[in-house]
Amino acid sequence: MVKKISILGSTGSIGLSTIELVLRHPGRFEVVGLAAGSNVAELEKQIQRLKPKVVSVGSEAAAKELRNRVGRNRVEIVHGTEGASQVAVLAEVDMVVSAIVGAAGLLPTLEAIRHGKTIGLANKESMVIAGELMRREASKKGVTILPVDSEHSALFQCLEGHRRADIKRLILTASGGPFLQRPREEFNQITVSQALKHPNWSMGQKITIDSATMMNKGLEVMEARWLFDLPVDKIDICVHPQSIVHSMVEYIDGSVMAQMGVPDMKVPIAYALSYPERIATGVPSLNLFEERKLTFFEPDFEKFTCLKTAYSAAREGKTCPAVLNAANEEAVAAFLAEKIKFTDIPRLIDKTIGAHQPFEVKSLDDVLEADRWARVTTKGFLP
C-alpha cells in the first residue's frame, strides 16, 4: 500500500533528503502535503515534482507569491502555524515527517499526534520543550514516534527486540563539532563561517551552530529522555569524531549494542519512512578498511559548557528545558546575524536560565508561556 505523507520543513536539509528518498521509491510513498518557511522557488519545484494537495508557507506574502507562481487551481496554498498544522492533519495522511527547525515545529507536530498520524521526528526541539506532553498525547492516540535524528534512530535500532528492564544506559555519540581541538581560550575569536563548517554532517544552519557549541548533544539528551522514557542519569555522551558509531545501548549484562554506518541522514530518515522494513538509500557501504580507526573520548564539560547547562536543565525539568531551548534559539540567531560572539551563546543561555523561576508544565500553554518569556528575556540581554 502507498504510504501517504506530509513533510513539514520540506525545503530544509532533512526535508530535501526525505524527498530524495521518496523519489527513489516511486509507488511506495505519496506526498500529500508540504510545509516550509519562505523558500517559494524550492516549493514551486517540489509542487511540480510531487503534486501535493496542500502546501503551507510561513507568511501570507509568501503564500501570495507561491500562488502567483503555480496558479491557484493546482494546489491549495495556506500559511502560518495554522497552515502547517492543516498540512499535518490532512485526513488521508498516514505519516508526518516533522522537520521544521526549532520550537516552531511543536504545534503542527502535536496536532499531527492528536490526529493519530505516525510521526517521523527530526524536530528535536519539540521533544525538548514538550516531551512529556507529546508522549502523553501519543500514548492516548496509540501514535508511534519514529526518530529521525541519527543518534536516536541508532538507539531505537539497538533497543529493538530487547527488554526495557535490561537497559543499563544509553550512550549518545557526538562528533564534537568543528572546535573539538580548538583551545578554549580561542573560542571568543570563532567566526560564523568557521562555526558553520561541520566536519562530518551537512545540515541546516541552526543545528550546525548547535553542534559547534555542543548544545545539540544536550538537546539530544533531553530528546532521548522523552523518546525512550528513561531518566537523564541513564543517558551518557561519548565523543566519537568519526561519526561512524551513531550511538549505543549498554545492557545490564555488560553487552553493548552499537549501530554504525556512513554518516548520511538518508539512512535514519529511510528507517523512519519504511519502518519496520528497510529500503535502499543509495548511501555507499561502510568501508572499514578505509576508516580503520574509530576513537572515543569523554566530553569536555568545561570547554563545552552548554553540555553542563543542558544536563542541569534536564535534571531540573519543569519549564527549564523550554527556557533553555528558546534562549538557545535566540542566541544562535543573534550569533548568525553577527550581533554577538560565539562565547556569548552559552553566556546568554545561562543568564536567561538564571533569571527564570521554573514552574511545572501542566499544559501546552505553560510551555508556550516559558518559551515566550525566555525569548523576550534573552533578547533583552542582547547588545
**Which residues of the shown chain bind ligand NAD in the complex (CB under 6 A)?**
9-15, 35-37, 39, 58, 84, 99-101, 104, 122-125, 149, 201, 203-207, 265
CB of 105 to ligand NAD, least distance (A): 6
CB of 168 to Mg ion, least distance (A): 22
* Among 16, 23, 17, 25, CA closest to 278: 25
* Spatial contact of 318 and 358, defined as CB atoms under 8 Å apart: yes
Partner whose binding site includes residue 11, from ligand NAD, Mg ion, none (CB under 5 to 8 Å by kind) = ligand NAD
CA distances for 40 relative to 98, 109, 202, 328, angstroms: 19, 22, 22, 27
CB of 18 to ligand NAD, least distance (A): 9
Partner whose binding site includes residue 96, from Mg ion, ligand NAD, none (CB under 5 to 8 Å by kind) = none
Q: Which helix (H) or strand (E) holds 86?
A: helix 80-88
Each residue 146-165 as x (binds Mg ion by CB under 5 A) or -, in order, gives ---xxx--------------
* Spatial contact of 153 and 346, defined as CB atoms under 8 Å apart: no
Partner whose binding site includes residue 130, from ligand NAD, Mg ion, none (CB under 5 to 8 Å by kind) = none
Q: Residue 334 is placed in which grid cell?
A: 543573534
- Residue number with CB closer to ligand NAD (80 or 358): 80
CB of 302 to ligand NAD, least distance (A): 25
- Residue number with CB closer to ligand NAD (171 or 381): 171
Would you call 341 exposed, middle or buried from its count of C-beta atoms within 10 A (0-12, 13-18, 19+)? middle
Partner whose binding site includes residue 248, from ligand NAD, Mg ion, none (CB under 5 to 8 Å by kind) = none
Partner whose binding site includes residue 15, from Mg ion, ligand NAD, none (CB under 5 to 8 Å by kind) = ligand NAD
Partner whose binding site includes residue 6, from ligand NAD, Mg ion, none (CB under 5 to 8 Å by kind) = none
Residues 107-146 as b/e (b if ≥16 CB within 10 A, e otherwise) read: bbbbbbbbbebbbbbbbbbbbbbbbbbbbebbeeeebebb
- Residue number with CB closer to ligand NAD (99 or 381): 99
* Among 77, 91, 89, 93, CA closest to 36: 77
* Among 236, 252, 263, CA closest to 162: 252
Sequence-distant (≥ 6) Cβ neighbours of residue 220 within 8 angstroms: 124, 149, 151, 152, 172
Residues 259-278 that bind Mg ion (CB under 5 A): none
**Count of residues of this chain found to bind Mg ion when the rule CB under 5 A is applied:** 3
Q: Contact residues for Mg ion (CB under 5 A)? A: 149-151
